[in-house]
């Protein structure tokens, strides 16, 4: 190990969180922060008391449940649950609910919550059916559950079929109907949320805190919500876009065009976006291959998963056209990204930038990486962060000088900022560790501790399999990794 100290000029005096190092990971970072914020808020929920007429409403719901059980109990095409009725032939699910009744400017985070939630103060409605029964009923009418967001697994898109969610009610002004999204006003735009349907991700079976029991997350885990207007891993129905709690909090309020009084009985009807049975989710696998000999500057692509749009060794133009045909047909491409073992780093980085540019609500959605692989945006390292003075805080650095895995020695560098009162500035303590094998890299990182962020530097022509081997050795303990291409001429650029 070699250690030295150099002064480092910085325009700030306090270390900031490492996430801001990577602009391209903005959404991923926000998801982590949003879930943390949610957890922190759970203990201080301002639960309101149920409206005085709730027991009367519950008695009516119970009476209808008994009636429906007697009427439809022998019909295999009808599902009867407390507060719920589903028709497999007609492909609809109806639940009974009541309005929470708050008005703008009260922030609204949930379309629908459990009757035990306590989040009435920030929800449109309380369901008398359980989340587990709603989940089962949507499956009963032919909708498969998808997958919720999971930032820890780099799954940033809610995946599943779309569901139309319609509220209906009657009051002294007559009968009313509105889509769930229409009931929420976005004060930033002055418009209701776009009614594009909610995503049936399905909720998780989880171990209940402090017990050895499992439960249905939407029913048993805070915030006990069935549908939220931001991405959440435990709801039954998510929104069809990437959006965090922090982004929408205080901006979304009950729409004044649809005033609902507290305790107003509601019927909420769920139907498939495509009644004819078509599916919106299109699962695809995209393999990025090294350039062909005939055109050595451009990687080529294989695309499988959709028989009418399969590609083999296709150019970029054909790939983009295939994605366009899929989205134009009203389907969402959920893409598992696979880089060929022999793809050089500089080509992998170029493709990663391209993929990021077409990923979005109206484009493609990238799935979690394959087992033993890493999230593709690690390849899109922010160039300004090569320079140590530009970083809000210092990561580990690993430099490997060879395009091969063997017969070379790399350097793992620990960078620690030490405040010096006399100079009113930081000094950077630098400690270098020689590394010859991925196992060495993992062992040193575990032994030394420190930040869980690593910048890795490889020659531009390093094949993808060599990069993956190094990353595999450390990503379980150091999940935040940014990859730079570094030629011998650029080796000192970071100083």
Q: How confident is the model at residue 491 (pLDDT cuts 50, 70, 90)?
A: low
Does the structure show a pLDDT above 50 at 44?
Answer: no
Contact 300, 351 (CB under 8 A): no
Q: Helix, strand or coil for residue 53?
A: coil
Q: How confident is the model at residue 342 (pLDDT cuts 50, 70, 90)?
A: very high
Phi, psi of 464 (to 5 degrees): -60, -35
Rounded Cα gap, residues 380 and 348, in angstroms: 10
Does the structure show a pLDDT above 60 at 148?
Answer: yes
Q: Domain 2-22+381-490: which CATH class? A: alpha beta
Compute and round to an integer the Cα radius of gyration of the chain: 27
Q: Which two tokens stand for residue 291?
A: 């350039």
Q: How many CA atoms lie within 13 A of 455 on its CB side?
A: 26
CA–chain centroid gap for 2, Å, is 41
Instruction: Give 155-169 pLDDT, tens digit per residue.
Output: 999 999 999 999 999
Mean residue pLDDT across the chain: 90
pLDDT given at position 494? 61
Contact 329, 336 (CB under 8 A): no
Domain boundaries, the chain: 2-22+381-490, 26-272, 281-368
Does the structure show a pLDDT above 90 at 418?
Answer: no
Q: How confident is the model at residue 489 (pLDDT cuts 50, 70, 90)?
A: low
pTM: 0.87
Residue among 314, 315, 309, 240 at smallest CA distance from 281: 240
pLDDT given at position 488? 62
Instruction: From residue 126, give the alpha-carbon distance in Å to each of 45, 53, 104, 137.
Output: 16, 13, 18, 18
Mean pLDDT of the 211-236 span: 96
Instruction: Give 284-333 pLDDT, tens digit per residue.
Output: 999 999 999 888 889 999 999 999 999 999 999 999 999 999 999 999 99
Rounded Cα gap, residues 127 and 52, in angstroms: 16
Instruction: Tell how strand 184-186 and strand 191-192 pair up.
Output: antiparallel
CA–chain centroid gap for 360, Å, is 12
Contacts of residue 52, Cβ cutoff 8 Å, sequence gap at least 6? 263
Instruction: Give 451-477 pLDDT, tens digit per residue.
Output: 999 999 999 999 999 999 999 999 999
Q: Which class for 279: exposed (0-12), middle (13-18), buried (19 or more C-beta within 10 A)? A: middle
Instruction: Give 15-30 pLDDT, tens digit per residue.
Output: 333 333 334 444 444 4
Q: How confident is the model at residue 196 (pLDDT cuts 50, 70, 90)?
A: very high
Cβ neighbours, 10 Å, residue 240? 21
């Amino acid at each position: 190990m070699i250690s030295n100290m150099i002064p480092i000029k910085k325009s700030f005096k306090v270390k900031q969180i490492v996430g801001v190092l990577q602009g391209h990971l903005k959404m991923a970072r926000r998801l982590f922060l949003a879930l943390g914020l949610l957890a922190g808020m759970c203990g201080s929920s301002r639960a309101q008391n149920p409206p005085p007429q709730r027991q009367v409403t519950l008695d009516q719901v119970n009476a209808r449940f008994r009636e429906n059980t007697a009427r439809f109990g022998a019909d295999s095409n009808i599902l009867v649950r407390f507060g719920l009725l589903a028709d497999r032939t007609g492909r609809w699910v109806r639940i009974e609910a009541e309005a929470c009744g708050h008005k703008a400017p009260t922030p609204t985070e949930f379309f629908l919550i459990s009757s035990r939630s306590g989040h009435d103060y920030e929800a449109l409605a309380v369901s008398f059916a359980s989340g587990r029964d709603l989940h089962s009923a949507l499956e009963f009418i032919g909708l498969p559950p998808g997958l919720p967001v999971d930032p820890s697994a780099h799954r940033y898109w809610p995946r599943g079929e779309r569901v139309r969610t319609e509220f209906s009610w009657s009051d002294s002004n007559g009968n009313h109907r509105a889509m769930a999204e229409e009931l929420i006003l976005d004060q930033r735009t002055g418009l209701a949320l776009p009614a594009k349907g909610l995503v049936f991700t399905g909720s998780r079976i989880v171990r209940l805190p402090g017990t050895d029991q499992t439960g249905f997350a939407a029913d048993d885990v805070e915030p006990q919500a069935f549908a939220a207007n931001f991405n959440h891993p435990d709801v039954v129905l998510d929104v069809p876009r990437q959006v965090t709690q922090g982004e929408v909090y205080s901006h979304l309020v009950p729409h004044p065009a649809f005033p609902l009084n507290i305790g107003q009985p509601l019927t909420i009807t769920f139907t498939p976006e495509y009644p004819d049975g078509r599916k919106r989710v299109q699962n695809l696998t995209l393999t990025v291959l090294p350039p062909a000999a005939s055109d050595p500057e451009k990687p080529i692509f294989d695309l499988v998963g959709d028989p009418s749009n399969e590609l083999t060794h296709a150019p970029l133009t054909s790939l983009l056209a295939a994605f366009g045909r899929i989205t134009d047909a009203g389907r969402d491409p959920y893409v598992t990204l696979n880089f060929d073992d022999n793809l050089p780093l500089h080509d992998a980085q170029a493709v990663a930038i391209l993929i990021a540019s077409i990923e979005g609500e109206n484009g493609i959605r990238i799935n979690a990486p394959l087992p033993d692989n890493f999230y593709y945006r690690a390849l899109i390292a922010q160039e300004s962060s090569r320079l140590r003075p530009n970083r809000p805080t210092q990561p580990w650095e690993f430099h490997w000088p060879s395009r091969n895995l063997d017969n070379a020695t790399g350097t793992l560098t620990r960078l620690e900022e030490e405040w010096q009162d006399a100079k009113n500035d930081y000094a950077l303590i630098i400690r270098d560790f020689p590394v010859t094998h991925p196992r060495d890299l993992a062992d040193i990182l575990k032994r030394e501790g420190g930040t869980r962020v690593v910048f890795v530097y490889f020659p531009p022509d390093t094949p993808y399999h060599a990069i993956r081997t190094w990353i595999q050795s450390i990503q379980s303990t150091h999940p935040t990794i940014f990859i730079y291409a570094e030629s011998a001429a650029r080796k000192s650029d970071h100083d």
